[in-house]
Chains A and B, each alone.
Chain A
Amino acid sequence: AQSVTQPDIHITVSEGASLELRCNYSYGATPYLFWYVQSPGQGLQLLLKYFSGDTLVQGIKGFEAEFKRSQSSFNLRKPSVHWSDAAEYFCAVGAGDYKLSFGAGTTVTVRA
């Protein structure tokens, strides 16, 4: 069965600074990979996805992620963080069985 690890529970970053959120997955084949963001009291919004092809994928809100098969990682990055990026971020993996497995999430705090 597939699984996802997000090593960082909480990250604090200054507005305008860069952000990188880590995600490691466990799955035998090439998985479907996703990053979602959740604001307090809200549902999950899809930021970006990787299915195949170019390992650097662009998403909404200026986010990008890079798939590294050798490291089983799919890290999320943003060059310059805005105060509105404060939220909880979830990495998820799909194995083609219409079920997503999520990491525990990383809470991002943005300081002025």
Chain B
Amino acid sequence: KAGVTQTPRYLIKTRGQQVTLSCSPISGHRSVSWYQQTPGQGLQFLFEYFSETQRNKGNFPGRFSGRQFSNSRSEMNVSTLELGDSALYLCASSLEFSEEQYFGPGTRLTVT
């Protein structure tokens, strides 16, 4: 079974721009979560989606948003990029009511 896939793997953007990251979950997994990983703050939860609905949200500004499609694929968007948004963004998928999350390889975002 194919794992979680994330596209693109690497991205370079300029301050003030916006960016959209994509995540395809493991087949049969309907929950998708997003995390930000930075050297200073570590791994931080962004949000989680199930059946196209956000079920939980972390403490990030409104510039960070996400959505989930009917096929369980998910996207996250960051608007008005700041230098501090440079990070590895990880997507994870899980079965419907499971805490067991499987992670993708991540998207490395660099903001200049």
Contacts and interface: CB of A to CB of B under 8 A. Distances in A.
Interface string A16-58: 0000000000000000101010000111111001010000000
B99 A98 contact: yes
Given A42-B105, A104-B42, A98 B48 contact: yes
Interface in B90-105: 90, 92, 94, 99-105
Nearest to A98: B48
Interface stretch (B50-58, B63-71, B72-80): B50-58
B31 interface: yes
B102 A46 contact: yes
Contacts of A97: 55-56
Contacts of A43: 4, 90, 103-106
A46 B58 contact: no
Contacts of A104: 42
Nearest to A105: B42
Give the dominant DSSP class at A's interface: strand
A10 B79 CA distance: 35
Interface in A53-110: 90, 92, 94, 96-105
Contact of A46 (B33, B100, B104): B100
Given A46-B100, A98-B50, A99-B33, A90 B43 contact: yes
Best-surrounded residue of A45, A98, A103 (most CB of chain B within 10 A): A98
Contact of A98 (B94, B102, B106, B108): B94
A52 B59 CA distance: 29
A101 B45 contact: yes
Contacts of A49: 100
A49 B100 CA distance: 8
A103 B102 CA distance: 17
Interface of B: 4, 31, 33, 35, 42-43, 45, 48, 50, 55-56, 58, 90, 92, 94, 99-106, 108
